[in-house]
Amino acid sequence: MNYGIVSQEQLEQIDAILSDKLIKLGVDCVIIIDMAGNIITAKDNGENKYDVYSFAALAAGNFATVDAMAKLVGEQEFSLLFHKGKDSNIHFSKIDDELLLISMFGRDISLGFLRLNVVDVIEKIRNIWDKK
């Protein structure tokens, strides 16, 4: 995989997919990070400003911890995580061994609908990587 550097063209394509499939749907913020805690790209709806850098570091740590827990119970991985709050929720989904897609969303989107779209987004992003 072309990890380390992503071309401008690839990033633009990914950003377009995130905007089109998730932000338009009403997701507050979408971040793609790598497992080291680096941000690949971040998109938001312009209303909610999150501290995405701290978020990425914590999310990578969180995912790594859950991954270690999965191994302890004999699972290969838990490929998706979901945190539910009163007003906002966070959904984590693995794109591949190095990348994670994180969506932050409020009460107006159902988890099922979001998951359907996330699956679609991940499929499209994988295609972009594969073309490289």
Partner 1 sequence: MSFINLKDKVVQVKVVYYGPGRCGKTTNLEYINRTYRKQIVSEMVSLKTHGDRTLFFDFLPFDMGKIKGYDIKIQLYTVPGQVKYNATRKLVLRGVDGIVFVADAMEKQREKNIRSLNQLHENLQSYKESIFRIPLVMQYNKVDLKEHGIPILPTSVLQNDLNSRLKVPYFEASAITGYNVAATLKKIISSSVISIQKKLL
List interacting residues with partner 1 (CB under 8 A).
3-8, 11-12, 15, 34-41, 51, 53-54, 57-58, 60-61, 64-65, 68
CB-nearer residue toward partner 1: 34 or 115: 34
CA distances to 13, 57, 59, 130 from 51, rounded to whole Å, are 24, 11, 12, 30
DSSP letter (8 states) at residue 1: -
Which CB sits closer to partner 1, 36 or 111? 36
Q: How far is the CB of 3 from partner 1 (least distance, A)?
A: 7
Complex with partner 1: residue 76 or 112, whichever CB lies closer: 76
- d(C-alpha 106, C-alpha 104), whole Å: 7
Nearer to partner 1, 69 or 111 (CB): 69
The DSSP line for 23-82 is: ITTT-SEEEEEETTS-EEEEEE-SS----HHHHHHHHHHHHHHHHHHHHHTT-S---EEE
Closest CA to 49 of 63, 34, 61, 31: 31
Shortest distance in whole angstroms from residue 9 CB to partner 1: 9
Smallest gap from Cβ 107 to partner 1, in A, equals 26
CB of 27 to partner 1, least distance (A): 20
